[in-house]
């Protein structure tokens, strides 16, 4: 683990939001939300045909205040997941807000039912409405999935007591998990790191076995089984009531994608991505001198991979330089995050695992961005920082350009900037390496990261699809989840003994928290391949490309995938688009890796 006193001080300063969870300003803001919601209901309900601009103005103000409150408590909880006072104050604020927001169910319904004539007439007279046309058009387009106002109001009121509560509970339980190796205890982040990154095969195997067994013996697996059954049962019911034709349809609509495109992505990864995956793992077998791999070998470091720990300051320099070589504009936005204490990097007790970025637009259009890490000092951790800061610059540019209602790009292409940032950093590191072995190690490491972003996420999505479909027949047992997990693993990675021996990994589905947000995961694969096609042409006209790229990031949620790619001459609706994304990324890296292995007489 990285030891760096400077890293220990890389912590968020959340005081721009509130001084503490007891800050009286929180209650003041909740009261503002109440007042504004009441104003909308009392003075503007039923007046969308003439007062749309004012209605939207108030709605924006509500969203900006709520964004700040929700963000503050989420960020606080991430730093101290077992703190019951944070949970208490969170529930007080969010449950109160939900009561007021529930009364605004009429907003989408009346906007959707507004006649096209009156809608266009008001648009023509208002700059605010013109700016937010994409937001309103999406609501009008998807009106057929709305239920009547009373039902929508009730659903909104009970939402704080549903899947989010189970998600929070599982996060809390996760922080309590203790894994023992020898005389030492480890948390989930640490045991995953050992099982994936240790250069000692036996230690990786022991760590994975301990992880797999403890998830079961601790009762965590049973809790996740219960939680997922509730989430899936509720989703199946709501899909039926709202009229979604397929279990993926709601997520696809949220992502501004059609079912056919998403199905094509899954098919391409299973058909072509799995081939490259097996190709990589066969190379790994040679390097590890094994006939078959254990699951604990899947992310094994390359034997001659550098074991050095990259200290925090060096990591920061690498990422900033990589971004700066492409766009000083993006590099300066990143520097602001460090300067303003918007990054929380060290591992400490109570902190949840993983990494994320949380960017919001709050009062008066002010944009804030927060990056969450568990930094251990590996090359992957450097890439993770580059990834999350890609989300950060995306959010900042879109937030300033589009405001609170149109900042967040749909998940499927919200990953574009983050993956682009990873690629910038990867190319920067690759360009600095002269030693063939070190270059080979980096290429193979990047290929493995790609497999985790593409193949593994589609495998996760396949797991969800099978589980959600089976859930229609009744509750699933833990053994059902285990069986589905092994089934989709074999589909993506090969039959037992072909490449892997599937031992001590049947319970691993239960630590994947993304399953609590149905079908979130395929966005990583979509984003990776979507971005690789884009990244491949960045040097054709660098100055023009940078300008187009920054404009793309500024668009937020106002454009769909086709519209985003059109200025670059790319078309994601074409059948070979996804295969091209595979060929120009991992296939190319493995071609180069095999060439280097021949030069080094490894093959």
528 pLDDT higher than 60: yes
Q: Are 460 and 526 a contacting pair, CB within 8 Å?
A: no
Which tokens hold the place of 189? 């982040």
pLDDT at position 410 is: 86
Which tokens hold the place of 269? 């990864």
Considering only CA atoms, which of 330, 321, 335, 331 is closest in space to residue 428? 321
Which tokens hold the place of 422? 């990873």
Mean predicted lDDT score pLDDT of the chain: 92
Q: For 463-500, give the DSSP string.
A: HHHHHHHHHTTSPPPHHHHHHHHHHHHHHHH-STTTSE
390 pLDDT higher than 70: yes
Q: Are 493 and 454 a contacting pair, CB within 8 Å?
A: no
Helix (H) / strand (E) containing 288: helix 274-288
Residue 26 binned pLDDT confidence (cut-offs 50, 70, 90): very high
Helix/strand/coil for 201: helix
Q: Radius of gyration of the chain from Cα atoms? A: 24
Q: Which pTM was predicted?
A: 0.82
428 pLDDT higher than 80: yes
Q: Are 198 and 207 a contacting pair, CB within 8 Å?
A: yes
Tokens 């095969």 identify what position?
Answer: 201
Return the HEC string of 153-170.
Answer: HHHHHHHHHCHHHHHHHH
Ramachandran area for residue 372 (φ above 0: left; ψ -120 to 50: alpha; else beta): beta
Query: Beta strand pairing status for 366-372 and 343-344?
Result: parallel
Residue 603 binned pLDDT confidence (cut-offs 50, 70, 90): low
Residue 124 binned pLDDT confidence (cut-offs 50, 70, 90): very high
Which tokens hold the place of 168? 């929070």
Query: Beta strand pairing status for 179-181 and 184-186?
Result: antiparallel
Dist. CA 581–CA 571, nearest whole Å:
12
Mean pLDDT value of segment 571-584: 85
Residue 28 exposed, middle or buried by CB count within 10 Å (0-12, 13-18, 19+):
exposed
Query: Which has more pLDDT, 280 or 352?
Result: 280
Tokens 């969010």 identify what position?
Answer: 94
pLDDT at position 118 is: 96
Any idea what DSSP says for residue 573? T
Mean pLDDT value of segment 379-392: 94
Phi and psi torsions of 356, nearest 5°: -160, 170
Q: Which residues pair with 371 in a beta bridge?
A: 343, 357
Percent of the residues in the chain that have a pLDDT greater than 70, as a whole number: 99
pLDDT at position 454 is: 96
Dist. CA 232–CA 472, nearest whole Å:
9
In angstroms, how far is CA 512 from the centroid of its own chain?
12
Least confident window among 15-29, 229-243, 252-266: 252-266
**What pLDDT digit, counting tens, does each position of 65-88 carry?**
999 999 999 999 999 988 999 999
Residue 3 binned pLDDT confidence (cut-offs 50, 70, 90): low
575 pLDDT higher than 70: no
* Long-range CB contacts (within 8 A, 24+) of 29-36: 29/65, 29/68, 29/69, 30/69, 30/93, 30/96, 30/97, 32/65, 33/62, 33/65, 33/66, 33/69, 33/97, 33/100, 33/101, 34/96, 34/100, 36/61, 36/62, 36/65
Mean pLDDT value of segment 114-120: 95
Residue 2 binned pLDDT confidence (cut-offs 50, 70, 90): low
Beta carbons within 8 Å of 25's beta carbon, 6+ residues apart: 18, 19
Mean pLDDT value of segment 2-19: 83
Q: Are 359 and 327 a contacting pair, CB within 8 Å?
A: no
pLDDT at position 402 is: 97
Q: Which residues pair with 449 in a beta bridge?
A: none
**What pLDDT digit, counting tens, does each position of 246-304 carry?**
999 999 988 888 888 888 899 999 999 999 999 999 999 999 999 999 999 999 998 88
Considering only CA atoms, which of 423, 445, 441, 421 is closest in space to residue 433? 441
223 pLDDT higher than 70: yes
Tokens 């007489």 identify what position?
Answer: 601
User: Rounded to whole angstroms, what are the CA distances from 26 to 31, 36, 57, 199, 453?
Assistant: 9, 15, 22, 48, 38
């Amino acid at each position: 683990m990285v030891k760096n006193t400077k890293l220990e001080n890389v912590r968020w300063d959340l005081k721009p939001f509130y001084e503490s969870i007891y800050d009286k300003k929180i209650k003041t803001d909740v009261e503002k939300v109440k007042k504004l919601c009441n104003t909308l209901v009392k003075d503007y309900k039923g007046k969308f045909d003439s007062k749309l601009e004012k209605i939207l103005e108030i709605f924006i103000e509500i969203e900006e205040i709520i964004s700040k409150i929700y963000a503050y408590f989420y960020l606080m909880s991430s730093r101290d997941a077992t703190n019951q006072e944070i949970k208490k104050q969170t529930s007080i604020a969010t449950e109160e807000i939900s009561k007021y927001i529930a009364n605004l169910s009429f907003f989408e319904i009346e906007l959707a039912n507004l006649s096209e004539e009156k809608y266009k007439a008001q648009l023509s007279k208002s700059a605010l409405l013109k700016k937010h046309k994409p937001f309103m058009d999406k609501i009008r387009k998807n009106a057929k999935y709305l239920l009547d106002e009373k039902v929508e109001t009730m659903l909104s009121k009970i939402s704080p007591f549903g899947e989010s509560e189970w998600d929070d509970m599982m996060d809390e339980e996760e922080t309590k998990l203790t894994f023992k190796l020898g005389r030492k205890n480890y948390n989930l982040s640490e045991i995953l790191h050992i099982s994936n990154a240790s250069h000692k095969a036996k230690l990786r195997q022991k760590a994975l076995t301990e992880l797999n067994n403890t998830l079961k013996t601790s009762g965590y697996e049973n809790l996740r089984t219960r939680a997922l059954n509730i989430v899936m049962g509720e989703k199946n019911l709501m899909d039926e009531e709202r009229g979604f034709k397929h279990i993926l349809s709601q997520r696809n609509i949220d992502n501004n994608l059609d079912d056919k495109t998403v199905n094509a992505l899954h098919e391409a990864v299973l058909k072509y991505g799995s081939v490259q995956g097996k190709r990589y793992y066969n190379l790994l077998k040679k390097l590890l001198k094994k006939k078959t791999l254990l699951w604990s070998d899947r992310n094994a470091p390359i034997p001659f991979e550098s074991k050095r720990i990259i200290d925090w300051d060096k990591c920061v320099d690498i990422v900033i330089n990589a971004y700066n070589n492409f766009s000083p504009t993006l590099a300066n936005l990143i520097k602001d995050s460090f300067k303003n204490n918007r990054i929380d990097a060290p591992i400490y007790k109570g902190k949840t695992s993983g990494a994320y970025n949380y960017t919001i637009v709050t009062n008066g259009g002010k944009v804030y961005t927060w990056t969450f890490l568990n930094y251990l000092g590996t090359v992957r951790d450097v890439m993770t920082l580059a990834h999350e800061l890609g989300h950060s610059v995306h959010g900042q540019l879109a937030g300033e350009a589009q405001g609170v209602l149109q900042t967040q790009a749909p998940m499927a292409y919200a990953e574009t900037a983050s993956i682009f940032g990873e690629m910038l950093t990867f190319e920067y590191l690759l360009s600095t390496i002269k030693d063939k072995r070190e270059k080979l190690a980096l290429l193979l490491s990047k290929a493995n990261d790609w497999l985790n972003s593409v193949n593994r996420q589609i495998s996760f999505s396949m797991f969800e699809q099978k589980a959600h479909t089976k859930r229609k027949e009744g509750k699933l047992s833990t053994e059902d989840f285990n069986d589905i997990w092994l089934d989709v693993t074999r589909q993506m990675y090969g039959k037992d003994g072909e490449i892997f021996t599937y031992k001590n990994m049947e319970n691993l589905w239960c630590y994947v928290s993304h399953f609590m947000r149905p079908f979130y995961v395929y966005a990583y694969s979509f984003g990776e391949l979507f971005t690789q096609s884009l990244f491949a042409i960045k040097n054709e006209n660098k100055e023009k490309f940078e300008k187009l790229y920054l404009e793309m990031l500024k668009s937020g949620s106002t454009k769909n995938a086709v519209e985003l790619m059109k200025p670059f001459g790319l078309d994601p609706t074409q059948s070979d688009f996804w295969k091209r994304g595979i060929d120009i990324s991992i296939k190319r890296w493995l071609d180069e890796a095999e060439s280097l292995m021949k030069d080094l007489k490894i093959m």
